[in-house]
Structure 1
């Protein structure tokens, strides 16, 4: 990025402002522009560095660095690793292929899906032990992980405030009923 055009523009603006002050002001402006050039460059570099820091905080885990090569700054952008997203997609597809056909969703989830018809994709990061428990629960219920999570989230959202859904087992050990209760 060439800062010379910005420094020259500042020099021209100073000359225009000095025109209003007469010959003495114009002469003073001409004497000050050379020493002010390095101060203007440093100020511009500080502003660009602060902007790079702000962008980096929004881009995390990627980053934006400002490097100085000679008199010209250069932005270096490091994007978040794409391999992680690809591996997650491959893992998801493998998991979906290994799952049995999903059972029909409960009526509450079916009515929610029918209301809108659209789906949205999100990335959900779970601790490994929670992910394993979700996979076990989905397998036990004969659902895909996605269908199980949709059912769990829908059930949690349908609960009155302060009353979470709880999975309960009823009956004698070995002859019990399981399901979701409110």
Structure 2
């Protein structure tokens, strides 16, 4: 995937926006476009990686990855046979340990109904997690909320994540 065309298009749009400005503004615009090129290239690669992750979530049995080859990103689609782990990803983190059982809720006998709106992709992931745990979606969500409100147990620490993940390999 050649990013140069996209970067040239952005540079041309900036030049067109400043085309009727003074020569000083046009020169500053050209220098700004040149200075921002590495950041724009990285942002486009992050976008490609995020899109690949979204596509992978929606495909069954296929993994879409963005790999860096010769300084240019490359999209790779691999079909995963049923029950076979991805062996092409040596740096994949191990599966997280099973979550500890949530403490029993303080049940005062009353219940409240809550309407929750989530993205379809998140709903699918919640459904899958509940099925894996052998419980209903409601039970799974209640446990997740209880665990979150209970806070870290023992010496565990919670870390925040930007939601961006880039996987692959380089030759």
Q: TM-score, normalised by structure 1?
A: 0.43
Higher RCO (CA < 8 A, seq sep 6+)? 2
More helix by share: 1
